Structure 1
Amino acid sequence: MLLENKTAVIYGGGGTVGGAMATAFAAEGARVFLAGRTPATLDGVADRIRAAGGQAETAVVDALDAAAVNDHLDAVVEKTGSVDISVNVITQAAIFQPLAEIPTADFAAAVTRALTTQLITTKAAARHMVKQESGLLMFFGGSDAANTYPGMGNVQIGMDAVESLRKQWAVELAPHGIRTVTLLTGGLVDSFPEGPEMDGARQSIIDASPLKRAATTADVGAVAAFVASEKGRSITSTQVNVSFGACFG
């Protein structure tokens, strides 16, 4: 197993993407700790992992509360001895409108939320990883400078901001043996809300790929598990493109 005896903490672990990563990590032998604000979704993911023979624990944690995040992570490390993988898939509230139509306060609040939660969780993990001289900080979303579209509102701007944060962590933490990687996807069709109104968005992602395929949450989980493993040890300070070529970041 690629991740045997590893400890992974996933913030937003009850969601579609976080759940897919947690499932893939657990399938490769990791002990996963799912953190989020909704017990029912966290328990649903954990139950599926355990039913498949994996190890999963849950905790209700507000990832915008630094004290709560630190207390939870301290408890995880006390129990397991380390934190080897930290992933935060919590994103900003997406506002798909022309920038001129978005209220300034709404735009600023969304981007601030994304950066704040990422900063809180990565600071907490880095505190332990620096002591260990090892670990992986994994980010999700990525920056695709080659493709910009009207009407995307705050979405790509927020992801670009988080990617800038990841780059700064990379240069500061690399001397301590800590890796930083972003998974760049360009959109996961099976994470979209159901309904014909999303058909156009799904098709545009497929059409953008030279292979005419779209990445799924399972694809993200599989790549995340590889990157987090010893086989992926040379991958750091970069984005990993999980988009079937739709993105050029």
Structure 2
Amino acid sequence: MLLENKTAVIYGGGGAIGGAMARGFAAEGARVFLAGRTPATLDAVADDIRAAGGLAETARVDALDGDAVNGWVDSVVETAGSVDVSVNVISHETLFGPLLELPADAFARSLEKIARTLMLTTQAAARHMVKQGSGVILHFGGSDSGNRSPGLGNVQVGCEMVEAMRRQWACELGPHSVRVLSMKTGGVAESMPDGPEMAPVKQQMVDATLLKRATTLADVSRIAAFLVSDHAATMTSTQVNISAGALVD
């Protein structure tokens, strides 16, 4: 198994993306600790993992609260002995529209939340990973440097900020054998709501790819498990493009 004897913490573990990663990690032998603000969704993912023979625990944690984040990660290390993987895929507020028309205060607040949660969760894991001399921090979203689409509001700007943080963390943590990576997909249709109004959007996502297939939750699950495993031990400070060609490097 790729992740046998590894411990993974996942913020937003009850969501579609976080749940997919959690199931993938557990299937490869990791003990997963799921954090979020909605116990019911966390428990649903944990129940699936346990039913498949995996190990999963849940906790209600506000990923914007420094004391809560640090206290939880410390408790995970005390219980499991280490934290080997940290993933933050909590949902963020999206503000679409031309930058010229967006309220400056709302725009700034939305970006502050992204920066704050990534700083808090990465710091909490990195403190332990540096002591261990190992670990992987995985971001999700990535950026599209060739983007020419207007009206994306805080979405593209937020993604670029995540990538800038990933690069800085990678160069600071690399000497301690801690890897920092991100994934970009161009969108995961399965993670979006169902309904006739969403069908054209999902089809557009497929049409935009070179392979004429959208990235699936299974793709996210399998590739994330590989990236945080020792099989990807030489990969750090980069984003991994799993967009099926929707985003061209």
Q: Mark yes or no: TM-score above 0.5.
A: yes
Counterpart in the other structure of 1:12: 12
Equivalent residues of 1:90, 1:114 under 8 A apart: no
Counterpart in the other structure of 2:85: 85
Between 123-132 and 91-100, report the one with greater CA deviation. 91-100
Q: How far off its partner does 1:171 sit? A: 0.6
The residue correspondences of 1:1-249 to structure 2 (distance < 5 A) are 1-249=1-249
Aligned equivalents of 1:108, 1:217: Cα separation in 2: 31
- Note the residue ranges of structure 2 that are not aligned, 5 or more in a row: none
**TM-score w.r.t. length of structure 1:** 0.97
Aligned equivalents of 1:119, 1:18: Cα separation in 2: 18
Q: How far off its partner does 1:193 sit? A: 1.6
Q: How far off its partner does 1:47 sit? A: 0.5
Equivalent residues of 2:183, 2:240 under 8 A apart: yes
Q: Which structure 1 residue ranges, 4+ long, deviate > 4 Å from structure 2?
A: none
Aligned residues: 249
**AA aligned opposite 1:189:** A
**AA aligned opposite 2:57:** E
**TM-score w.r.t. length of structure 2:** 0.97
Q: How far off its partner does 1:228 sit? A: 1.0
- Aligned residue for 2:198, secondary structure, equals helix
Aligned equivalents of 2:185, 2:57: Cα separation in 1: 27
Aligned equivalents of 1:222, 1:138: Cα separation in 2: 14
Quote the sequence identity (%).
61
Equivalent residues of 1:209, 1:244 under 8 A apart: yes
Aligned equivalents of 2:161, 2:203: Cα separation in 1: 27
Equivalent residues of 1:4, 1:29 under 8 A apart: yes
- Aligned residue for 1:143, secondary structure, equals coil
Distance of aligned partners of 1:194 and 1:212 in 2 relative to their CA distance in 1, 3 Å threshold:
same
